[in-house]
Amino acid sequence: MRGKGENAVVCLKGFVYLARGKGKSWLGFTHDPGLDLTILQREGYETVVSLTPTLPIGVALYVLQELRGLSGLQKRSLFNQSLLQAERLWKKTLQTLSWGLPLVDLEDDSTGSSKTANDNNGNGKISSRRFESKNIDEELTYWSHQAAQILQSMQELPDSFRQRYALHIYGPVRSKTVESELVTGLVDLRVLAETLEGRILYMGEIEKALTERWRRERLSYPTGNLEDMMHLLALVGAVEVFPSLIMEGKDKGRCLRCGQNKQIAVSSCVRCGREKCYYCDGCLSMGESRLCRPLYALAGDEGWIEQWQEKVEPWFKSSATSSAISSATFSTTSSTTSTATSSSSASSILEGKEWHGQEFRESRKKNHRSWPLLSFPLTEAQEEASDDLLKWLDGEKNKEALVWAACGAGKTEVSFAAIAQLLEAGGRVLFAVPRRDVVLELEPRIQKAFPGVSVVTLYGSSPRKYDQAQLVIATTHQVIRFYRAFDLVVLDEVDAFPYQGSEMLYHAVMRSKKKEGSIVFMTATPDHVMKKKVKEKKLSLVTIPARHHGYPVPEPQMILEKEWRWNREQLIFPDKLLNFLHRTVEGDLSQVFIFVPSIFLAQRVGESLKEATKGPPFNDFKGSWVEYSHSRDPQREAKRQAFSQQLFPFFVTTSIMERGITVPRANVVVLFAENERIYDERTLIQMAGRAGRSTERPYGDVWFVGTRLTASMKEAERSIVWLNEEARKKGYLHGSTERIRPLA
Query: Can you give the binding site for other proteins, defined by CB under 8 A?
Result: 4-5, 7-9, 265, 267-271, 281, 284-285, 288, 677
Nearer to other proteins, 268 or 309 (CB): 268
Q: Which is nearer to other proteins, 5 or 72 (CB)?
A: 5
Strand ranges for 600-657 from DSSP E: 626-629, 650-653
Strand partners, 290: 279
3-state percent breakdown (helix, strand, coil) of the chain, nearest 5: 45, 20, 40
Q: Minimum CB separation from other proteins for residue 4, in Å?
A: 4
Distance of CA 713 to the CA centre of its chain: 34
Beta-sheet pairing, 45-50 with 13-21: antiparallel
Q: How far is CA 307 from the centre of its chain?
A: 26
Min dist CB 252 to other proteins, Å, is 17
- Minimum CB–partner distance for residue 63 and other proteins (Å): 24
CB of 288 to other proteins, least distance (A): 5
The residue (of 266 and 638) whose beta carbon lies closer to other proteins is 266
* Nearer residue to other proteins within complex by CB, 5 or 463: 5
Residue 201 burial (10 A CB sphere; 0-12, 13-18, 19+): buried
For other proteins, give the closer residue by CB, 447 or 675.
675
Indicate the pairing of strand 277-280 with strand 264-267. Answer: antiparallel
| Beta-sheet strands, E only, within 249-315 | 253-255, 264-267, 277-280, 294-298
CB of 234 vs other proteins, minimal distance in Å: 25
Whole-number Cα distances in Å, 612 to 577, 580, 602, 625, 630: 11, 13, 15, 11, 20
Q: Which is nearer to other proteins, 4 or 130 (CB)?
A: 4
Q: How far is Cα 164 from Cα 109, in angstroms, rounded to an integer?
A: 9
**Contact between residue 554 and residue 408 where contact means Cβ atoms under 8 Å apart:** no
Closer to other proteins by CB, 197 or 288: give it: 288
Neighbours of 507 (CB within 10 A): 19
Q: CB atoms < 10 A from the CB of 593, how many?
A: 24
Of 622 and 677, the one with the shorter C-beta distance to other proteins is: 677
Which of 116, 267 has the CB closer to other proteins? 267
Is 394 or 536 the residue whose CB approaches other proteins more closely? 536
Considering the complex, what minimum distance in angstroms separates the CB of residue 29 from other proteins? 23
Nearest Cα neighbor of 714 from 737, 680, 665 is: 680
Least Å distance, CB 62 to other proteins, is: 22
Report the alpha-carbon angle 269-273-274, nearest 5: 70
Report, in angstroms and rounded to the nearest whole number, the Rg of the chain calculated over CA atoms: 32
Whole-angstrom distance between the N-terminal and C-terminal Cα of the chain?
Answer: 74
Cis amide bond preceding 434, omega within 30: no
Contact 705, 671 (CB under 8 A): yes
**Which H or E run contains 487?**
strand 486-492
Between residues 592 and 601, which has the closer beta carbon with respect to other proteins? 601
CB of 495 to other proteins, least distance (A): 20
Residue-level length of the chain = 744
